[in-house]
Amino acid sequence: MPRVENKTGDLLLSLDNYNIRRALRTLECCLSQGSWFQTTEIKRSSFEIDGRTISVKISRPIVLRAIGYGPRNIYYETENIPPIVNVMKNGYDPTTDLLGLLMVKWFYKHIDTQDAFKISNQQRIGDFINDVRTIFPLIFPETKDFIADVISHFIAARILGKDTRDVSWDEETMLTLMPKGIALWEELADNSVLLELFRDDIWLEKDRHDVSPTRALPREKRFMECIGICQSIALMEQHFHRSLFNISIKRRYINSFGDNTIAYHLSRGILGSIRREIDPHRPALIDNAYKTLSALISNTEEDLHRVHS
Residues 149 and 144: their CA atoms lie apart, in Å, by 9
pTM reported for the whole predicted model: 0.87
Residues 257-297: tens digit of each pLDDT = 998 899 999 999 998 998 888 766 666 766 777 788 777 77
- pLDDT bucket at 51, cuts 50 / 70 / 90: very low
Residues 190-229: tens digit of each pLDDT = 999 999 999 888 766 555 566 788 888 888 889 989 998 8
Q: Stretch 21-43: mean pLDDT, rounded?
A: 76
Between the CA atoms of 202, 68, 211 and 273, what dihedral angle is there, to the nearest 10 degrees? 100
Residue extents of the structural domains in the chain: 2-42+52-69, 94-114+179-308
Q: Give 3 or 287, the one with higher predicted confidence.
A: 287
CA distances from 219 to 208, 216, 248, 308 (A): 21, 9, 45, 38
- pLDDT bucket at 47, cuts 50 / 70 / 90: very low
For 155-163, which contacts have Cβ atoms below 8 Å and span 24 or more sequence positions? 156/80, 156/81, 157/77, 157/81, 157/82, 157/85, 158/17, 158/81, 159/85, 159/87, 159/104, 159/184, 160/107, 160/125, 161/17
CA angle, 237 then 278 then 11, to 5°: 65
- pLDDT for residue 307: 57
- Say how many Å lie between the first and final Cα of the chain, rounded: 53
Residues 169 and 184: their CA atoms lie apart, in Å, by 23
- pLDDT for residue 266: 95
Calculate the CA 208 to chain-centre distance. 21
